Amino acid sequence: MKCPVQCFECGTFSMELDLSQDHQHIACERCERIWCAICLGRVEFTVSKEWLKQQRVAHLN
């Protein structure tokens, strides 16, 4: 089950959190940032185009 998550940077609901997963990294394509529900506040890194591509591929499978 997925739920929309508000980006902590831009404030739009552009990210989706998969409630069935404990640890996951969600990306805001607008800010090009990755957030993590667990690492939040500690880890923050820039989204690469390659990472986004991988995520899209993963969603298709």
Q: Which of 60, 1, 49, 61 is nearest to 27 (CA)?
A: 49
C-alpha dihedral over 5, 30, 12, 44, to 10 degrees? 50
Size of interface with Zn ion, in residues (CB under 5 A): 9
Please identify which residue in 7, 27, 34, 35 interacts with Zn ion, judged by CB under 5 A: 7
Dig out the tokens for 42 from the structure: 């500690």
For position 19 contacting Zn ion by CB under 5 A, the verdict is: no
For position 27 contacting Zn ion by CB under 5 A, the verdict is: no
Q: How far is the CB of 48 from Zn ion (least distance, A)?
A: 16
For position 34 contacting Zn ion by CB under 5 A, the verdict is: no
